[in-house]
């Protein structure tokens, strides 16, 4: 990577205020900071705090060339998640998405100020927050690049039944603004994972449209925990387990399980007789720092019964470190793209339980295309309860069978090709060369 000393170009990152989106753009900021360009990470005060509080694998405050531009916006209702909703889509986050319209003017002012001081200002914005950049085309030296936070496979094979009408309309509006401001697309992906679908995405665009597959964005080699901050209790627990003996259970930040679903999952994990770490949290509200969250109840006496081989984590857990630990041999996941990319880069196979949005398509990519996972919840049966028997069977299939060992081996081979292939770093060099031309 060539060191760029001239500060003729400044970069502004504009994330969507949801954890999976904040996290990916913050990781991208880390990668771009290595090119020594002035960087701005712009968003609402509360969501920038959220991004910095939860980041894993590095310290965002240690990077001197990243400036966090925090903008207060008017208060808005942040309803709690509904674990008993007929759909798993996180409708409680929609007020946060709509409230981003208030970022238009402060971000426009930031771009105008930077445009006076730099030859070129590059904006990398989440594809679902394009409307805050509607003034950008009026500033001659500003270029905007859309960050696609989901897989090319999911974009190419989208299932409209995985979202709500409200979000569908919100997405349509963002697409209209995207078509006005966009100079190219960035993907948190790489050709080793979904080259065919990245090529198909490129073919659907005009010849002048550019795209770069620059993933995985998450750190693929984690820093030595002895030299970092105090390790989380689950890492200490994993240190005492055998290699590939633990299945990690986490459904991301947007999913609320009903009491009935939790009970069946709990019984299934217990009956599987496999070791597990289960992150049992309520889904995020629009403001994670405000108000109490529902405390999810487990069957009476459950934690005492499983304490020798199961660890229940009710707070924020370091997912990247858990997946990167030698004792972790599987991952029961909602198949959010962040989780998929982290799991793939760490060589951990997935038990797929998709919930909404791009997750059903990602589950197909993982289980049918890449063949590095097994299906627990079939999307075609999304309205049916997953039984404890299905959980038990699926966990044993991955963690205690010859087939499971073969799937794990494929996951490790894919991880090596992704981490060692170097394709994404070449793509990043290409993108930086383009914006600093």
pLDDT tens, the chain, 437 aa long: 444 445 699 999 999 999 999 999 999 999 999 999 999 999 999 999 999 998 887 787 776 689 999 999 998 888 999 999 999 999 999 999 999 999 999 999 999 999 999 999 999 999 999 999 999 999 999 999 999 999 999 999 988 889 999 999 999 999 999 999 999 999 999 999 999 999 999 998 887 789 999 999 998 887 555 445 578 899 999 999 999 999 999 999 999 999 999 999 999 999 999 999 999 999 999 999 988 888 888 999 999 999 999 999 998 899 999 999 999 999 999 999 999 999 999 999 999 999 999 999 999 999 999 999 999 999 999 999 999 999 999 999 999 999 999 999 999 999 999 998 766 789 999 999 999 99
Residues 6+ apart with CB under 8 A from 103: 14, 42, 43, 44, 71, 73, 129, 132
Structure confidence at residue 224 (pLDDT) = 56
Q: CA torsion, points 31, 120, 207, 181, in degrees to nearest 10?
A: 90
Active site positions, annotated? 21, 126
φ/ψ of 341, rounded to 5, equals -65, -40
DSSP assigned state of 163: S
DSSP assigned state of 255: -
Q: What's the gap between Cα 371 and its chain centre?
A: 21
How far apart are alpha carbons 191 and 90 in whole angstroms?
A: 30
Structure confidence at residue 423 (pLDDT) = 64
Structure confidence at residue 209 (pLDDT) = 85
Residue 126 in tokens: 């989440």
How far apart are alpha carbons 142 and 152 in whole angstroms?
A: 26
Structure confidence at residue 207 (pLDDT) = 78
Structure confidence at residue 306 (pLDDT) = 96
How far apart are alpha carbons 283 and 256 in whole angstroms?
A: 5
Radius of gyration of the chain (CA): 21
DSSP assigned state of 256: -
Cβ atoms of residues 6 and 118 within 8 Å: no
Residue 434 in tokens: 């383009």
Cβ of 149: how many Cβ atoms within 10 Å? 25
Beta pairing partners, 70: 43
How far apart are alpha carbons 84 and 71 in whole angstroms?
A: 34
Structure confidence at residue 296 (pLDDT) = 83
How far apart are alpha carbons 198 and 297 in whole angstroms?
A: 43
pTM recorded for the entire structure: 0.94
> Between vectors from CA 369 to CA 365 and to CA 375, what angle results, nearest 5°?
60
Segment holding 330, helix H or strand E? strand 328-333
Report how far apart, in Å, the C-alpha atoms of 279 and of each of 10, 118, 274, 322 are.
Answer: 39, 45, 16, 11
Residues 6+ apart with CB under 8 A from 172: none
Per-residue three-class SS string for 56-110: CCCCHHHCCCEEEEEECCCCCCCCCCCCCCCCCCCHHHHHHHHHHHHHHHHHHHH
Cβ of 214: how many Cβ atoms within 10 Å? 25
- Secondary structure of residue 414 in the 3-state scheme: helix
How far apart are alpha carbons 249 and 319 in whole angstroms?
A: 10
Q: Is the dihedral of CA 152, 157, 158, 161 positive or negative?
A: negative
Q: For the chain, count helices (H), then strands (E).
A: 16, 13
φ/ψ of 352, rounded to 5, equals -90, 125
């Amino acid at each position: 990577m060539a060191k760029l000393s001239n500060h003729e170009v400044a970069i502004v990152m504009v994330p969507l205020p949801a954890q999976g989106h904040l996290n990916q753009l913050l990781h991208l900021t880390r990668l771009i900071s290595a090119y020594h360009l002035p960087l701005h990470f712009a968003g609402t005060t509360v969501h920038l705090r959220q991004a910095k509080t939860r980041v894993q694998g590095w310290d965002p405050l240690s990077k001197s060339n990243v400036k966090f531009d925090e903008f207060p916006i008017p208060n808005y209702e942040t309803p709690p998640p509904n674990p008993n909703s007929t759909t798993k889509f996180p409708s409680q986050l929609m007020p946060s998405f709509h409230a981003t319209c208030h970022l238009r003017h402060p971000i426009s002012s930031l771009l105008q100020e930077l445009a006076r001081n730099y030859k070129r200002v590059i904006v990398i914005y989440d594809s679902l927050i394009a409307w805050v950049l509607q003034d950008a085309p009026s500033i001659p030296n500003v270029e905007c690049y859309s960050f696609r936070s989901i897989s090319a496979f999911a974009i190419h094979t989208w299932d409209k039944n995985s979202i709500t009408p409200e979000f569908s309309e919100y997405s349509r509006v963002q697409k209209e603004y995207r078509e006005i401001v966009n100079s190219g697309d960035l993907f948190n992906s790489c050709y080793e994972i979904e080259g065919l679908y990245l090529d198909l995405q490129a073919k659907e665009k005009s010849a002048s449209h550019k795209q770069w597959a620059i993933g995985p964005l998450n750190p693929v080699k984690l820093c030595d925990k002895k030299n970092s901050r105090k390790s989380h209790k689950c890492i200490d627990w994993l240190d005492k387990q055998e290699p590939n003996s633990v299945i990690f259970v986490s459904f991301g930040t947007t999913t609320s399980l009903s009491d009935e679903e939790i009970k069946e999952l709990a019984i299934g994990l217990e009956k599987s007789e496999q070791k597990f770490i289960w992150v049992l949290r309520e889904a995020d509200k629009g403001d994670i720092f405000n108000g109490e969250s529902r405390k999810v109840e487990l069957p009476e006496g459950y934690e005492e019964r499983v304490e020798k081989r199961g660890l229940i984590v009710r707070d924020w857990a370091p997912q990247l470190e858990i997946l990167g630990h030698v004792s972790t041999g599987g991952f029961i996941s909602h198949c959010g793209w962040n989780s998929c990319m982290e799991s793939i880069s760490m060589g951990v196979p997935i038990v797929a339980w998709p919930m909404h949005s791009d997750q059903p398509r990602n589950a197909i990519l993982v289980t049918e295309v890449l063949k590095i996972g097994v299906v627990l919840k079939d999307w075609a049966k999304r309205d049916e309860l997953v039984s404890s028997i299905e959980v038990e069977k699926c966990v044993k299939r991955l963690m205690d069978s010859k087939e499971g060992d073969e799937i794990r081996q494929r996951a490790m081979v894919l991880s090596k090709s992704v981490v060692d292939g170097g394709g994404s770093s070449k793509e990043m060099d290409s993108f930086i060369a383009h914006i600093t031309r």
